[in-house]
Structures are given as C-alpha cells and as structure tokens.
Amino acid sequence: MLADNGQQVDYIETQVAFEEYCRSWLASPVIALDTEFVRTNTFYPKLGLLQIADENQCYLIDPLKITNWDCFVAVLLNPVREIVLHSGGEDLITLLMVLGQLPETFFDTQIASAYAGLGFSKSYQALVQEITGRNLPKDQTRSDWLKRPLSESQLKYAADDVCYLLPIFRELNARLGERNYIGFLKEDAKAQVENTKLCEQSKYWELAYTGVSNSWRLNNRALACLQRLCAWRERQARKKDLPRSWIAKDSDLLVIAQLVREQRNLNMRELHGCAVSESALVRKNGEEIIRLVNSPPDFSLINRSLLTLPLSASLRAMIKGFRETVQRHAKQMDIAPELLARKKQIVAVAQEMERGSNLIWPPELRGWRGDRLAIDFLEVASNFDSKGFIGDGNEPLRTKF
C-alpha cells in the first residue's frame, strides 16, 4: 500500500519487526508521529494505532501486538531527534499512558502554522491543502481503531494522517526561522509536555474545584466540601477509567456541597432528598459521599483567588484594554491574537490586578509573552482602581512571574 504522497506503507505487528525499525529511527534526525485512539467511554484514550513517518516511508504499528515499548521510548527521549506532531495534546496524553514517558519537546505543526501567520488552530487537512495542495478525506475520523482487523480504508487514512508531516515541518521550520519564532514554539512545546505530566499528579487534582461554575457562591465550609468531592471524582475517574461526567457532574457536586453550608453533618435522608436523588451518583456512592462530606473541612486546600468571579464594570473595562493590547502586538507579530494570549488568561491577569497592585502572569503567559506584554499591561492597569482605577497613585505597579 502507498500513502497519498507515494511513500511505501509498512504494517508492523510483531515485536521483532518493531524493534528493528526502532533501531533505524534512532539514526533518523527527525520523525513524524501520530496516534489513532478511542476515547468514547473511558477517561484515558485507548491507543489503536501508532503511525510513524521518516524521510523514506510510513509505518503503521499495531499497539495491541507490542509487548515492550522500551526501544521506542529510547527513540522519543533522544534529545537530538526532532519529533513532529500535529495538534499534539491528545497524542501526548496517549503516549504518556502507554509509555510512561514523553519527549522533552516536539515540533507541533498546528502551533507552528499559527506562528507562521497561517491561522490559529488550523486542521491537518487544511494545512496539507495550504502547503502541498493535496486534499485529504476525513472519512475515518470516528472510526473504531481498536477493532481488528483494520480495514484497508482505515490503514490508508492513518498513513495519510502522518505522511505529509515532514514536508510541512520543513516548510514551517524555514518560515519560523525567518521570523525568529522557533524559540517561541519550543517554549510552548516544553510547557505543553510539562502540563501533560502535571495533569496526572495528585496535587493538580486538588484544584479541580476551581473549574466548577458558581463555586464562588459557596461559603468556606461548602467550598472545602466541594474541593474534597472534586478531588475524589478525579481519583475515581482514573481508577475506574471512566469519563468524569460518568462519575459525577459538576452540578451534582455543587448541589451536595451547598447542603453543608452550616456546621452540621449530612445524613443519607438529606442526600437522597437533594436535587441529585435520581442520579446514579447517590445510588452507587452515597455512603462514600456522606463520609467525604462529613469529614472535617480542610480550609488550607481552598483558595478563593482561583475561583472565577462575575466581572465588574471596571474589570470588564480593564480586560478590554488588555485585549486591545494583545491584538495590537499580535498584528505587529503577524500572528493570531489567541496565540499570544487567550481571553481566559487575560481575565486571570485582570482579576489579579483587581486584588492588588502586582501584575501576576498565569503559567501560560510567562516567558516571552509576559516579557512582551508587561509594559503595556501595566500602563492599562495603572488607570484603574476600585472605582474604576487600581492603585493609589503613589506606588508603582510591578510585574511578578
């Protein structure tokens, strides 16, 4: 079988052949990588096919036949080898689950295309069309990649999904080199790798409550309860390998937390009488929920500054000023504004400014982004205090990273 670009496609389904190819990839300065997985009823993606492309051909590896991944881990961890992905977020999660390891960095063609001025969040098919002129089908996007045998159309689709990544990489790498943006891309990739690892650390699960809408309305006792329930859900979703919403919906946990606003214990009758009484959550986990809810609250685990509050008029005005600043800088750089700073990140900066006089960057804006935006953000923020302006005019605003 040939891929759309004319490369030979090899299907690998034995450990011996896989290790032989890994030795050849160890000598390759760059390889492209893609994954096909299923994640319809599980928390973690289930790898159904691993696709590799080098300068010579494409390779489709059946992960259900591979018993030892050590040789491929060596390929990924070699720091002198470039790993090329497109929109690599899900691929990183899948690789971490299968291999337990991730490359230190990688070249993401979707992010690179944004730095090249080709648009934000561009699909692989659109990028192939833009750079090579080829029109690839999307007919197997929702295919069952765990079913065997895989059809010829599935294998052709999988090969086409990786075969153009190296030509695209060469083109985008040259464009970013001309713009001096390669360092920015590498910084973003390293941050994405670290964030993928962080999401599987228990300390990250302890912050899950901050993403629940209207959690700011709870008093401290109820918020501490919500924090404990959300952390429990994170552990259960991973332990049972089920989607979070299958364990408990945000709205269910919020209703339960609201029952403990006062300093008293909750009983099963009250739990069954709440708005989630028909939910499988209570039927399956009622006793565990009672134990969690009635445990002494640990207020050290909650931080109200991390909650999403309603935006005041003055805060909305500050956010507007920040967004205009971002748009101006993005235009100067010839990149999409979302690549420089997204709305959620801008709101987080403004909320920190409303709480005090320091400019505190969220992790996504640290590095070159914060360096570029700091002076203009401070100028915008200096015009606002509690009545629409921040600061007393006597103490200069500062940047904190």
Which residues are part of the catalytic machinery? 34, 36, 91, 157, 161
DSSP 136: -
Find, among 6, 366, 49, the residue nearest to 194 by Cα. 366
Determine the Cα–Cα distance for residues 85 and 124; give it in Å rounded to an integer.
10
Tokens representing 346?
Answer: 């801008």
Q: Residue with structure tokens 């997204």?
A: 342
Tokens representing 75?
Answer: 């390929």
> What is the bridge-based pairing of β-strands 58-61 and 358-360?
unpaired
Count of CB atoms within 10 A of residue 153's CB? 12
SS3 for 319? Answer: helix
Tokens representing 117?
Answer: 């001025």
Determine the Cα–Cα distance for residues 219 and 261; give it in Å rounded to an integer.
6
The burial of 312, by beta-carbon neighbours within 10 Å (0-12 exposed, 13-18 middle, 19 or more buried), is given as: middle
Determine the Cα–Cα distance for residues 217 and 304; give it in Å rounded to an integer.
10
> Do 226 and 219 meet the contact criterion of CB atoms below 8 Å apart?
no
* Number of helices and strands in the chain (H, E): 18, 8
Half-sphere exposure of 346 (CA within 13 A, CB side): 26
